[in-house]
Structure 1
Amino acid sequence: MKRLILMRHAKSDWSGGASSDHDRPLNPRGRKSAATLGDWLRREGLIPDQVLCSSAIRTRETLVRLDLPTEIETTFARTLYLATHHEILKELRKAEGDCVLVIGHNPGISIVAAEIVAQMPDDPDFQRYPTGATLVADFDIDLWADADWGQANARHFVVPRAL
């Protein structure tokens, strides 16, 4: 079995004067939401052994504020910055961990969430996949290279304001 934790970055700061979209940080609400998501992951025992994270500042800051153990293998990939759902699946298929956290951006992340599960969670926020939205899904596969659309079973879906 393989487990995917698919997370959209927390709320970013549009007023911070970043030099580019890639360099936008989290806003205060986003920093608090990321910490809340980290608390939830730890409480539920959902600690990844590998992280694939977009290279954008807001995704990197989301990861830092999750406050996960520091020994987790982490890759910051420019290919995940504003990636399509096909590009995200391509990166996931290279993963080696049993539980992989992917932190990225919409619309790619929300499309992966909708397409990767056999049945979507019954939550009105799932369709919009707002900032901080997190899906936990299990695959009955031995290798990530075998991951494909419609294979995963959704186990949890949360948004920060519900925590």
Structure 2
Amino acid sequence: MNTLYLLRHADAEPGRSYDDDRDRPLTEEGYHDAGRLGQLLAATDQLPDGIVTSPAVRARQTAEALSERGQWQVEVPLRSSHALYQAQPADVLEEIQALSDERRAVLLVGHEPAWSTAVSQLLGSANVSLPPGTCVRIDTEAPSWREVRFGEGRLRWMLPPTLLR
């Protein structure tokens, strides 16, 4: 079994202040939300063994705040993937299928509208909407990441940041 965490980046500054949408940073609340999620993942022994993030500043800051503010005692490899910025659900699935089978639990950080749709499609008949900072855990019985398909995931939990405040 593989475990997939899909996290929509935490609360970010409004886009009107930035020439390039990719440059938008997290708000202070977004940092706190990501840190609280990081603490929860550590406290419940659900740390990923790899993180893949969109290269957008707010997504990367979300990923970094998980471990830094969550005070993880282990270093989790983090890499950026341009495919996760302005992604379509098929791009998200392709990124999942390209994961190394050495990783058993991976966290992906990305954006709307792809994230809600990708989660919905991974689960099959779900209709999911992810507010900023919401994390979803999906388990899959696929023997390898490259065999993960839409409609075959099992929702374990969905956690909006408001439940951790």
**Fold shared by both chains (TM-score > 0.5):** yes
Normalising by structure 2, report the TM-score: 0.89
Normalising by structure 1, report the TM-score: 0.90
Match of 1:134 in 2: 135
Q: Provide, for residues 98-131 of structure 1, a one-character-per-residue CA deviation record: whole Å limited to 9, x for no partner.
A: 10100000011111111101464xxxxx732100
* Cα distance in structure 1, aligned partners of 2:129 and 2:116: 7
Q: Residue 128 of structure 1: SS of its match in structure 2?
A: coil
Q: How does 1:112-123 map to 2 (within 5 A)?
A: 112-118=118-124, 120=126
Counterpart residue identity of residue 137, structure 2: V
Match of 1:58 in 2: 58
* Cα distance in structure 1, aligned partners of 2:152 and 2:17: 41
Match of 1:123 in 2: none
Identical counterparts, % of pairs = 28
* Cα distance in structure 2, aligned partners of 1:156 and 1:141: 19
Structure 1 unaligned blocks of 5 or more: 121-125
Residue pair 2:123, 2:152 contacting (<8 A) in 1 also: yes
* Cα distance in structure 2, aligned partners of 1:109 and 1:69: 28
Match of 1:99 in 2: 105
RMSD: 1.7
Q: Provide, for residues 128-151 of structure 1, a one-character-per-residue CA deviation record: whole Å limited to 9, x for no partner.
A: 210011110110012100000111
Aligned length: 158
Structure 2 unaligned blocks of 5 or more: none
Tell me, yes or no, if structure 1 residue 26 matches structure 2 residue 26: yes
